[in-house]
Amino acid sequence: MPRFAANLTFLFTELPFMERFAAAKEAGFDAVEVLFPYDFAAQEMRAQLIRHDLTFVLQNTPPPNWAGGERGFAAVPGSEARFRSDFDRCLRYAGVLKPLHIHVMAGRAQGAVARATYLRNLRWACERAPQASLTIEPLNEGDMPGYFLNDFALAAEILDEVGAPNLGLQFDAYHAQILTEDVAAAWEAYGPRAVHVQIAGVPGRHEPTGGAVDWPGFFAALDGSGYAGWVSAEYTPEASTAEGLGWLAAARA
């Protein structure tokens, strides 16, 4: 059975942020992730992690302006200084929060110059933080218009070209199903590169139940492939978070 984590940016939003750690533990999660923790005190978050015996799985870079702002700068030509400054701030937070992975967001860009910029920035980041596990994640065009990394084959090429041992694939089953229309085949093809997995229902990005994905089959495929990382619930609950956690009990049955 996969090990499930709660994305506190998406789940338990009916509660103040610092109360979500306890709620996640009470709901049966042993790990959490936060997309952008930079509006909160790192030491206070660390205290919550320790108090509730939670593993901190993942945070994103860059820090600021998520609401209506940019989706990263790693592939954006001319934004190298911004990317590096944001990455260093991310590392300062990571030094306190100790995430297992840091997701390096590509941003909105296209073309050969963007690809070269992305490769250069990723190589720099991998060398800058050799002890950190960095990830890249393909995102679908509908949710992220203009996002550079919008294809799993491209992600595989980028990983091979960077060639860094501390850079891996972040496999989001929601995006994979939309991009490929066959999450099982996508996992078979690209799962061996994955160091982190996220889940959400298709369509709607709600609870991982029914819809276009055979979730019991997907979870079995994760187990069968030997995947040993965390599987983070990164979805928007249809009602309250607690009301929608039947999928978690079913997966553990």
pLDDT tens figures, 51-105: 999 999 999 987 655 555 677 999 999 999 999 999 999 999 999 999 999 999 9
Contact by Cβ (8 Å): 27, 77: no
| Residue of 80, 157, 234, 243 marked catalytic | 234
What are the beta bridge partners of residue 169? 136, 194
Matching residue, tokens 């139940």: 209
pLDDT tens figures, 180-215: 999 999 999 999 999 999 999 999 999 999 899 999
Q: What is the reported pTM? A: 0.96
User: What integer is the mean pLDDT of 162-179?
Assistant: 98
The verdict on whether 137 is a catalytic residue reads yes
Q: Which two tokens stand for residue 46?
A: 């660390």
- For the chain, the average pLDDT equals 95
| Residue of 33, 137, 157, 161 marked catalytic | 137
- 244 backbone dihedrals φ, ψ, rounded to 5°: -100, 10
The verdict on whether 243 is a catalytic residue reads no
Give a three-class secondary structure readout of the chain. Answer: CCEEEEECCCCCCCCCHHHHHHHHHHHCCCEEECCCHHHCCHHHHHHHHHHCCCEECEEEECCCCCCCCCCECCCCCCCHHHHHHHHHHHHHHHHHHCCCEEEECECECCCHHHHHHHHHHHHHHHHHCCCCCEEECCCCCCCCCCECCCCHHHHHHHHHHHCCCCEEEEEEHHHHHHHHCCHHHHHHHHHHHEEEEEECCCCCCCCCCCCCCCHHHHHHHHHHHCCCCEEEECCCCCCCCHHHCHHHHHHHC
pLDDT tens figures, 103-132: 999 999 999 999 999 999 999 999 999 999
Structural domains of the chain in order of their starting residue, each with its CATH number: 3-252 (3.20.20.150)
Say whether pLDDT at 34 is over 90. Answer: yes
One-letter amino acid at 47 equals A
User: What integer is the mean pLDDT of 35-61?
Assistant: 96
